[in-house]
Amino acid sequence: LGCVWRVLRTAEQSRAALLILRSPCCFPQLTGVLDDCFCDIESIDVFNNFKIYPRIQKLTERDYFRYYRVNLNRPCPFWADDGHCSIKDCQVEPCPESKIPVGIKSGNYNRYSQVTNANTDIVDCEQAQDLGAINSTLSNYSKEAFEDWARHDDAQDHFCELDDETSPDADYVDLLLNPERYTGYKGPSAWRVWNSIYEENCFKPRSVYRPLNPLVPPRGKGCLCLEKRVFYRLISGLHSSINIHLCAEYLLDEGWGKSLWGPNVQEFRQRFDPAETKGEGTRRLKNLYFLYLIELRALSKVAPYFDRAFVNLYTGDRQEDRATKELLLQFFNETKAFPMHFDEKSMFAGQKIEAKTLKEEFRLHFKNISRIMDCVGCSKCRLWGKLQTQGLGTALKILFSEKEIKNLPEHSPSKGFQLTRQEIVALLNGFGRLIPLLYTLGFILFSTNPTTPPLIGLN
């Protein structure tokens, strides 16, 4: 197809290689209105490239968002564990206990203390000089309010099975030092994970062709209701996001003890070229846009939760926390300005009993998928799979908690709706994985359409 691949490196993100397709012949149908909504791809591209992309990098590099508490040692609940991948690039480097900022270890959910303020120059995993401490949730909680929150937390409509952050098997991981990339993990173990997701836990259209495992034949045709179509498209979009990141940062060579990473054109074409996927590649990329739209809607809806004065992104460094919250609120203002948000009210809108049953089925299917992430054999793949699945699960929790968010008390924690720090970090970083992908795909339209203004002011 003569597709030209380029590597885009920004000053802020020199560690990440972004794949750019320059030829419009590769995906001639990646335009127009998305199914099941009234938003077009071109509008998403413009909004993402000029409004969202410049802000998300600054946020995910802040102390509060770069550390993620995760348990990578949970056993697979569905089949005998294949064992962890022995490839060195599959491994995740947790932060040593001695280098975790004091605030994150203090368990202080209440307020800034002299101890945390005196340690704002703690050295992080990269030996940076300005790293502040991190607390695991919002500040200014009284002990009574926090315990009350914990009692009601289990009653919420969780779409994911959250890791127990107090478990001795849970570690803090610096996401900037453990980037998502292809590590060499593949074969039957990886096929089994995705086949279990699609064949057993996803409302998959029977006509969809998936070249994951050539031993699994396609099924017959079938129709799905809106809710089940949305579910499938979200999982497909998540799968596309993961695959594009792996193709962009592919392990090309391990010669002489030094790994060489870069874009793998052949792998990308195998997964997304319409000719090699029986036309499915374009649909997969459109599902990536649909996933972006759903998470964008959730971010715009959750803004009131963070608008409240007592909610702080607690790290133990007052100056850092104020700056981080200001950046986050600016980001939320941008998300609310998007004119063509997905209308989640169109879902589960039938008869009350049937709608409630369908919503619970939707929730349990997704929760099951979050559990399947503990079956991924590659630790680095498991890390990013768990984070992105939890980010999407948090977005769904937000979308279907409209009443609870509207009734949030202004000056105290709410029993009806809460977000843990783990959910907040996953939500922002999960969305952050989509933004550069849409930027590169959107760049195709800008660079091949002479009537479209060039991209400026992004770095």
Pairing verdict, β 250-253 and 170-174: unpaired
5 has binding-site annotation: no
236 has binding-site annotation: yes
315 has binding-site annotation: no
102-111 residues labelled b (16+ CB within 10 A) or e (exposed) = bbbebebbee
| Residues 216, 199 contacting (CB under 8 angstroms) | yes
Half-sphere exposure of 391 (CA within 13 A, CB side): 27
| Residues 459, 11 contacting (CB under 8 angstroms) | yes
Listed in sequence order, the residues at least 6 apart from 264 whose beta carbon sits closer than 8 Å to its beta carbon are 182, 247, 250, 252
Separation of alpha carbons 214 and 339, rounded Å: 42
Half-sphere exposure of 339 (CA within 13 A, CB side): 5
Separation of alpha carbons 316 and 313, rounded Å: 9
Separation of alpha carbons 379 and 85, rounded Å: 7
Q: Is 37 a catalytic residue?
A: no
Rounded alpha-carbon distances, angstroms, from residue 213 to 104, 154, 169, 190, 209: 43, 37, 33, 10, 11
The values of phi and psi at residue 173, to 5°, are: -120, 130
**Among 174, 426, 168, which residue's Cα sits nearest to residue 302?**
426
137 has binding-site annotation: no
Q: Is 3 a catalytic residue?
A: no
How many beta carbons lie within 10 A of that of residue 404, not counting itself?
Answer: 18
79 has binding-site annotation: no
Amino acid present at 417: F
74 has binding-site annotation: no
The active-site residue out of 37, 39, 375, 378 is 378
Residue with tokens 């307020």: 111
**Vertex 302: Cα angle to 299 and 307 (nearest 5):** 115
Separation of alpha carbons 304 and 324, rounded Å: 16
Q: Binding site for FAD: what residues are annotated? A: 181, 183, 194, 236, 239, 271
Active site amino acids: 378, 381
Q: Binding site: what residues are annotated? A: 181, 183, 194, 236, 239, 271
